[in-house]
A and B are shown apart, each in its own frame.
Chain A
Amino acid sequence: MRLFGRPLNGSVRTFAPGGARVGNFRGRMAYFLQQLINGVTLGATYGLIAIGYTMVYGIVGMINFAHGDIYMIGAFVSLVGFMLMGTMGITWVPLACFLVLIFAMGFTAVYGWTVERVAYRPLRGSQRLAPLISAIGVSIVLQNFVQLAQGARVKPLPPMIRGSFELSSSGNFQVTISYLQIGIILVTVALMAGFTYIIKFTPLGRAQRAAEQDRTMASLLGVDVDRTISATFVIGAALAAVAGLMVTLYYGVIDFYIGFIVGIKAFTAAVLGGIGSLPGAMLGGMLIGLIEAFWSGYFSIEYKDVAAFGILVFVLIFRPTGLLGRPEIEKV
């Protein structure tokens, strides 16, 4: 898995080989700021995926291990979407990105819905382990499906959004934030705000929260719990698709296997923030992104995953429910 093994930003390697040896205080601050920007960008995508894990866990009580592959599907659908835009002659980049965003969200949402309907709903009410195994099966199916349909080779996408702001420069080290990074952060913030709004203030969100606390009681008040669960999967998949699109644009290469490691990272983010807690997933995603960026920037890129998982272990020792999780209340 070399995808995230690449330096997060070209300037890091060029001007600060091997870590924080950039002379004076201003230089060090600039370097820190650059890592912060990179980390926040990465964390945004993890957060979007982590929401899918934490929501499904909250309402159905299962870990949807196929969610990382849903993200991978989102990335591929985005790639196909950009091809389509090209053949249709839509070359104005913002419009193309917007259309691909809608296309990818819609298409991937259908995947999310189908997976729930085919692989999880028939197993509802059986043992806890059964849907988990089913999820691993779905994950394998999706990977192999894409491998067969799209080929096993890495797919490149030429960079579409170029250019960046230069925030400061000290000596030969510049702090830059690219337009793409700004776009990723803005889209993520907007989606998370919209999503939080849905959960807090719309009837659907209220039904989701109710079903999370007591599924039976919710259905006895007339809530169609099956449909509410479907909606949860659809929303989770759509958010993962956005993450897929952003990563495709950001790194420029995807393959059928990218869902695995990113899925594990996002799951880690959800657990770190407290699984079942939505703000926790966002916070956890951000933290994992920052840990990775700083570890790569100050220590070694090779061990950044170790750092992320190490922090997870450390946090869970002291807060077994995660940072924002609540202890599970024993139902009588």
Chain B
Amino acid sequence: MTVPPVLSVEHLTIRFGGLVAVDDLSFEAAPGQITALIGPNGAGKTTVFNCITGFYKPDVGRLTFRRETGASFLLERMDGFRIAQAGVVRTFQNIRLFPGMSVVENLMVAQHVKLMHASLFSVAGFLRLPRFLHAEAQAIERARYWLERTGLVDQADLPAGSLPYGAQRRLEIARAMCAGPSLLCLDEPAAGLNPRESQGLNELLLSIRDEHGISILLIEHDMSVVMQISDRIVVLEQGRKIAAGPPDEVRVNPEVIRAYLGVEDEETAVAVLQGEGARA
């Protein structure tokens, strides 16, 4: 591929005491594509996310993030908030909204960097100078756009913690998008959603990719999501990469069928990987 990848993970290794959580993992995420990271529980998927977003410092390995502008960042050397400012934004497996703040304020916090800059560390914000008001109007416009996309406009002024579960999931994605990422890392966005909601999620993620050109890195157990929308899938098992490729290839890879599900019954395994029927 001629376009450099938005994220390259090279020889990533992280140990917790004697346990090797991620072992010499290398993969790339292409720009403007959805890359899924799948694997059985404990395979190290979330650990990889934690390294990318600065939670953990890897023992070995290099994580390079490249913006469309050509600027590149070595993520393993940066603080969490600088990684976010550079353009890598993540969500969590368990929802982490600011429950006591209103829905729209959650989205405003995500645009903090821009607003803080425009407000000269709040001085202009306090005096309501035009440059701040302009930036604030833009931020509200952007928040409104994402509320419309996620169908949360009517709930804009409710406390985020009072929303139903599915709406909170959508709000998390809206908030991440308001932070202006070029790489969006989603940790199990479909967890706990019913089939209709996860269908809506698929459409949302595809439109983020296609209309906004944002690259997405996705951890997901729900195969109906993974198989339908991913451009590429990376399969982990016990911290190692066992397969990578487009969904059609991964789906029939015997190694994946064996390892990912750990089931003897091949028919069940295939059925799950096809995204049909019960989840493992």
Specify the chain B residue showing the minimal Cβ separation from A225.
Answer: B81
In the bound assembly, the distance between CA atoms of A30 and B162 in angstroms comes to: 49
In the bound assembly, the distance between CA atoms of A214 and B97 in angstroms comes to: 8
A206 at interface by CB-CB < 8 Å: yes
Contact: B115 with A329, CB < 8 Å? no
Contact: B122 with A221, CB < 8 Å? no
A261 at interface by CB-CB < 8 Å: no
Residues of B within 8 A of A203 (CB): 108, 112, 115-116, 119, 122, 125
Specify the chain B residue showing the minimal Cβ separation from A197.
Answer: B126
Contact: B53 with A220, CB < 8 Å? yes
User: Contacts A209-B101, A222-B81; is A214 near B119 (CB within 8 Å)?
Assistant: no
Contact: A202 with B96, CB < 8 Å? no
Query: Residues 67-97 of chain B: 1 if any A CB is under 8 Å from the residue's CB, otherwise 0?
Result: 0000000000001110111000110101011
Contact: B99 with A207, CB < 8 Å? no
In the bound assembly, the distance between CA atoms of A249 and B99 in angstroms comes to: 43
Query: Which one, B81, B94, B126, contacts A220 given CB within 8 A?
Result: B81
Contact: A220 with B125, CB < 8 Å? no
Report B7-55 residues with CB < 8 Å from chain A CB.
Answer: 53
Specify the chain B residue showing the minimal Cβ separation from A201.
Answer: B125
Contact: B101 with A222, CB < 8 Å? no
A302 at interface by CB-CB < 8 Å: no
Q: Interface residue tally of chain A, by bracket? A: 20 to 34
Query: Which one, A197, A204, A214, A225, contacts B98 given CB within 8 A?
Result: A214
In the bound assembly, the distance between CA atoms of A220 and B87 in angstroms comes to: 10
Q: Interface residue tally of chain B, by bracket? A: 20 to 34
Residues of B within 8 A of A205 (CB): 122
In the bound assembly, the distance between CA atoms of A329 and B94 in angstroms comes to: 15
Report B104-131 residues with CB < 8 Å from chain A CB.
Answer: 105, 108-110, 112-113, 115-116, 119, 121-122, 125-126
B100 at interface by CB-CB < 8 Å: yes
Contact: B81 with A214, CB < 8 Å? no
Report A218-249 residues with CB < 8 Å from chain B CB.
Answer: 218-225, 231
Contact: A217 with B81, CB < 8 Å? no
In the bound assembly, the distance between CA atoms of A143 and B80 in angstroms comes to: 37
Most buried by A among B98, B113, B121: B98
In the bound assembly, the distance between CA atoms of A307 and B112 in angstroms comes to: 45
Query: Which one, A198, A209, A221, contacts B89 given CB within 8 A?
Result: A221
Contact: B90 with A220, CB < 8 Å? yes
Specify the chain B residue showing the minimal Cβ separation from A218.
Answer: B109
Closest CB in chain B relative to A195 CB, distance in Å: 10
Contact: B96 with A217, CB < 8 Å? yes
Query: Which one, A202, A210, A222, contacts B122 given CB within 8 A?
Result: A202
Query: Which one, B94, B97, B112, B179, contacts A206 given CB within 8 A?
Result: B112
B232 at interface by CB-CB < 8 Å: no
Contact: A221 with B126, CB < 8 Å? no
Specify the chain A residue showing the minimal Cβ separation from B172.
Answer: A217
A-B contact pairs, 9 of them (CB 8 A): A202-B125, A203-B108, A203-B122, A205-B122, A213-B99, A218-B98, A220-B81, A220-B84, A221-B112
Task: Contacts A210-B101, A217-B98, A222-B85 known; list 14 others, CB within 8 Å.
Answer: A202-B122, A203-B125, A204-B122, A206-B101, A206-B108, A206-B112, A207-B112, A216-B96, A219-B81, A220-B89, A221-B84, A221-B109, A221-B110, A231-B121
